[in-house]
Amino acid sequence: MEIPSFPFTTTDWSRVPATHYPGETGSATWRTLDVGDVRVRMVEYSPGYLADHWCQRGHILLVLEGELVTELEGGTPVTLRAGMTYQVSNGRSSHRSRTATGAKLFIVD
């Protein structure tokens, strides 16, 4: 990841258009800002959300609200609560998200 050269910038996430994605169950709402090859997102998962795919993309993820369970393909689920993060590289540790209660996340990838 390389952050391109640009001046100090702020983002009012309430003004970034929302895109809705259905999960296997529940739904995800993304607000996305692309900065060069860096994607920055504010993501909200509805209660009962389960991702409809295994992800191979690298992320830095911060749980802002709620509780998120990240399933590792062939591994143990990891539970994250508000204030917790995970970091994973591209092509490593296939993972998918689920939440019983809903979650709000800040993700950089």
Q: Is residue 10 part of a domain?
A: no
List pLDDT tens digits, range 48-61: 999 999 999 989 99
Q: Among 28, 19, 18, which Cα is nearest to 99's?
A: 28
Tell me, yes or no, whether 66 lies in a domain: yes
Say if residue 1's pLDDT is above 80: no
What b-and-e string marks burial along 46-77, b requiring 16 or more CB atoms within 10 Å of the CB? Answer: beebbbeeebeeebebbbeebebebbeeeeee
CATH code at 62?
A: 2.60.120.10
What pTM does this model have? 0.90
Chain mean pLDDT for the chain:
93
Confirm whether 9 is domain-assigned: no
Q: Would 39 be classed as within a structural domain?
A: yes
Number of domains present in the structure of the chain: 1
Residue 56's domain comprises 19-108
Residues near 14 by beta carbon (within 8 Å), at least 6 away in sequence: none
Q: Which of 18-22, 54-58, 66-70, 99-103 has the lowest mean pLDDT?
A: 54-58
The tens digit of pLDDT for each residue in 80-108 reads 999 999 999 887 788 999 999 999 999 99
pLDDT for 37 beyond 90? no
